[in-house]
Chains A and B, each alone.
Chain A
């Protein structure tokens, strides 16, 4: 493996809480007049760490995603790496030309024309004049603004403005690209185009660090993900693992916030209780994570103190927000005392990646012996076979095949074969 192009150690950033707005010169003077010595001492403002001891290595050609809640410190980390702000502690070294995209349209001025803004914004983002001149036609074509390039951008619609701004940014070709949530702009078609361009950048072997809340974007573009929580690295690893762990943590905290305590419903009787569950097939490192759309077996272990006659076994699968996905019951079970494996097999579980929960129950005649909301939750972390935009993703994650062919002796018509 090559040496990292970004190497950071214990990067930390401390901010004063709430004191973004300065009280003003008058206040400072007044304080100085009242107690001249106190002003020399450090003010005891409430400090907090926006980022604490974050170490990271990013290798050449790697696309690293940064995820985390709002205010977790992702943008602070990006700002430190792009040198907009300096760390309070720690250090980093970056080898190569860095381009950072923290907003779309950095440096645009409304009075200037599209052409002038292209040069200005390009220069601010780090392109040389010659480089912008060379790519100018390509940028204008990408933005689809050939006719309006000599119009002041104040006359542009917001869509045109964003298209030009992104076109400039998209043609930035640094060795290392730092991007903050800028893809969530423009109409869907333009977003697609931008994502395609981002993919090209990544495939061209450039190093990218990307902050996004669109987890599908992260899944599509990144090989590795850093999950930042409360200013610290919570998890660092392959995309599907970290994103899934993040999703289940988010949904857990959501349901916890909603006062939903369905996890505490496990009340085994003296006669029978469920003690564990796992994904028996396909096998992976983690028995609670499903990584393949393939024949799947889920195994529940039931401990019986006494034999059961005429038993019923219920199995149900729920989404994180308690929508039932599937349910089934097996009747007329005759079970010996001891530990019993109850296994359900499926040709596949083609569900949208994310957290799910199994619920199992055991009954004798009409009497409920045990019902268990299986913990830990099941995480589905399979490859995504859906639209690249989150809003076009449904609960099913089905691989599909598409064909278009002309029918004989008819007006050509499109057909869709699932």
Chain B
């Protein structure tokens, strides 16, 4: 694909006042290019996409923000009632509302990001067929704009913790790392799914199943201590397991650091993300012809 780098070998024969960029247009050739530099060149458009998503989402003012809070709060109430009070699942010594809410905030971020990332290419088909920009910035803008919801939910979580007398400790410094891990997981998997969705529209119907299945494969409704220790490393291949366990630990400062689990998660994410970028870029060449 054409890169935005000025290439010296194709310098114009005669000096042109403002021939700043030379673009080469070719059939798709190389399989393994990340083309992240081009994404960087289009960072302003990325900003505008995020800005647009956030603007549109909160256009209905109070109601929009309320939903962002209501969704995890209602989930938390349901979980507390059924998994906590009725099933009496262990919560590693945390009050149930905090235990569930601390998991639901990163989980909700992940779930919304994954859904919007999967759909973003198909939903932007009008743009894709009419104007050029590196398609990679579409899924990136999706995971970034969901961060606003996350921030609002996080404030509510902080209020919750405070109400239960749980004050932040130094472990809270790990939160950005964990959030980043959740973001890359959503992006990595989302890249695969959004490219597939452009080819097979069925993918969007599969998404709700993937998400609810994934939630039960992650320690959202239960503590990861329920998983036998010898299977823990395998469990860690689910990056969200490390993220959610880590979130509980980082927020409350209680329990143990999810060291090995997190390491396994991080390596899994790197693989999924790199694979996702390659796959997406490969599909990108034909996306405009297929959506």
Beta-carbon contact of B201 and A124 below 8 Å? no
CB contact list, A39-85 vs B, under 8 A: 60, 79-85
Q: Is A88 an interface residue (CB 8 A)?
A: yes
Residues of chain A lying within 8 A (CB to CB) of residue B203: 25
Q: Is A401 an interface residue (CB 8 A)?
A: no
Beta-carbon contact of A96 and B130 below 8 Å? no
Complex alpha-carbon distance, A28 and B201, angstroms: 12
- Category for how many chain A residues contact B: 35 or more
Complex alpha-carbon distance, A106 and B16, angstroms: 30
Q: Is B61 an interface residue (CB 8 A)?
A: no
Interface segment, B6-14, B146-154, B222-230, B237-245?
B6-14
Residues of chain A lying within 8 A (CB to CB) of residue B127: 106-107, 124
Specify which of A5, A89, A100 is in contact with B132 (CB 8 Å cutoff).
Answer: A100
Specify which of B12, B28, B59, B288 is in contact with A84 (CB 8 Å cutoff).
Answer: B288
With A84-B131, A86-B285, A106-B127 already in contact, the answer to whether A94 and B20 are too (CB < 8 A) is no
Residues of chain A lying within 8 A (CB to CB) of residue B77: none
Residues of chain A lying within 8 A (CB to CB) of residue B28: 86
With A87-B27, A124-B133 already in contact, the answer to whether A2 and B22 are too (CB < 8 A) is no
Specify which of B25, B47, B130, B201 is in contact with A24 (CB 8 Å cutoff).
Answer: B201
CB distance from A374 to the nearest CB of B (A): 46
Beta-carbon contact of A83 and B56 below 8 Å? no
With A84-B131, A86-B285, A96-B19 already in contact, the answer to whether A91 and B56 are too (CB < 8 A) is no
Q: Is B85 an interface residue (CB 8 A)?
A: no
Complex alpha-carbon distance, A160 and B290, angstroms: 32
CB contact list, B59-96 vs A, under 8 A: 59
Q: Is A245 an interface residue (CB 8 A)?
A: no
Q: Is B199 an interface residue (CB 8 A)?
A: yes
Complex alpha-carbon distance, A92 and B23, angstroms: 8
Specify which of B13, B24, B44 is in contact with A128 (CB 8 Å cutoff).
Answer: B44
CB distance from B105 to the nearest CB of A (A): 27
Beta-carbon contact of B202 and A92 below 8 Å? no
Beta-carbon contact of B20 and A96 below 8 Å? yes
Beta-carbon contact of B202 and A93 below 8 Å? no
CB distance from B102 to the nearest CB of A (A): 34
Q: Is A364 an interface residue (CB 8 A)?
A: no
With A84-B288, A89-B27 already in contact, the answer to whether A106 and B14 are too (CB < 8 A) is no
Q: Is B52 an interface residue (CB 8 A)?
A: yes
Q: Is B48 an interface residue (CB 8 A)?
A: yes
With A25-B200, A95-B19, A112-B55 already in contact, the answer to whether A119 and B48 are too (CB < 8 A) is yes
Specify which of B12, B20, B45, B199 is in contact with A22 (CB 8 Å cutoff).
Answer: B199
Q: Is A129 an interface residue (CB 8 A)?
A: yes
Q: Is A383 an interface residue (CB 8 A)?
A: no
- Chain B residue nearest to A108 in the complex (CB): B126
Specify which of B2, B12, B16, B22 is in contact with A83 (CB 8 Å cutoff).
Answer: B2
CB contact list, B14-67 vs A, under 8 A: 14, 16, 18-28, 44-45, 47-48, 51-52, 55-56, 59
Residues of chain B lying within 8 A (CB to CB) of residue A88: 27
Complex alpha-carbon distance, A328 and B251, angstroms: 99
Q: Is B1 an interface residue (CB 8 A)?
A: yes
Beta-carbon contact of A120 and B199 below 8 Å? no
Residues of chain B lying within 8 A (CB to CB) of residue A123: 44-45, 48
Beta-carbon contact of A93 and B23 below 8 Å? yes
- Chain B residue nearest to A60 in the complex (CB): B16
Residues of chain A lying within 8 A (CB to CB) of residue B289: 15, 85
Complex alpha-carbon distance, A157 and B126, angstroms: 21
CB distance from A95 to the nearest CB of B (A): 5
Residues of chain A lying within 8 A (CB to CB) of residue B128: 84
Beta-carbon contact of A2 and B132 below 8 Å? no
Residues of chain A lying within 8 A (CB to CB) of residue B44: 123, 128-129
Q: Is B129 an interface residue (CB 8 A)?
A: yes
Beta-carbon contact of B290 and A111 below 8 Å? no
Beta-carbon contact of A84 and B129 below 8 Å? yes
Complex alpha-carbon distance, A22 and B195, angstroms: 14
Residues of chain B lying within 8 A (CB to CB) of residue A91: 24-27
Beta-carbon contact of B200 and A24 below 8 Å? yes
Residues of chain B lying within 8 A (CB to CB) of residue A149: none
- Chain B residue nearest to A8 in the complex (CB): B25
Q: Is A339 an interface residue (CB 8 A)?
A: no
Beta-carbon contact of B26 and A82 below 8 Å? no
Residues of chain A lying within 8 A (CB to CB) of residue B20: 96-97
Complex alpha-carbon distance, A88 and B285, angstroms: 10
- Chain A residue nearest to B196 in the complex (CB): A25
- Chain B residue nearest to A88 in the complex (CB): B27
Residues of chain B lying within 8 A (CB to CB) of residue A116: 52, 55
Given A85-B289, A93-B22, A107-B131, 15 additional A-B pairs, CB 8 A: A5-B19, A25-B201, A83-B25, A85-B288, A88-B27, A91-B24, A92-B24, A93-B25, A95-B10, A95-B12, A96-B19, A96-B20, A106-B131, A112-B52, A112-B59
Residues of B in contact with A (beta carbons under 8 Å apart): 1-2, 10, 12-14, 16, 18-28, 44-45, 47-48, 51-52, 55-56, 59, 126-133, 199-203, 285, 288-290
Residues of A in contact with B (beta carbons under 8 Å apart): 2-3, 5, 8, 15, 20, 22, 24-26, 28, 60, 79-98, 100, 102-103, 106-107, 109, 111-112, 116, 119-120, 123-125, 128-129, 175
Rank and list the top 3 A-B pairs by shortest CB-CB distance, nearest first: A25-B200, A25-B202, A83-B132
